[in-house]
Amino acid sequence: ASAKKFPHFVLPLPREGQGAEIHLLQWTFPAPDTVTVLFTHLAEFKLRGEFAQPHTTITHHLELAAEKELVLVQGQVIENRGVTVDEAKFLLMCLQKFYGFGSESADRKRLLELFGRGDPAFKVEDLVEETEKIF
User: Could you give the percent of the chain with pLDDT greater than 70?
Assistant: 96
Q: Determine if residue 21 is left, alpha or beta; phi over 0 gives left, psi from -120 to 50 gives alpha, anything else beta.
A: beta
Residue 107: strand, helix, or coil: helix
What residues have CB less than 8 Å from 30, skipping those under 6 apart? 36
What is the reported pTM? Answer: 0.91
pLDDT score of 103: 59
Does the pLDDT at position 102 exceed 70?
Answer: no
Distance between CA 57 and CA 26 in Å, rounded?
A: 10
Distance between CA 36 and CA 23 in Å, rounded?
A: 16
Per-residue pLDDT band for 106 (boundaries 50, 70, 90) equals confident
Closest CA to 49 of 103, 8, 102: 8
For the stretch 57-82, pLDDT in tens is: 999 999 999 999 999 999 999 999 99
Laid out side by side, the sheet with 19-31 consists of 8-15, 19-31, 34-41, 56-61, 72-77
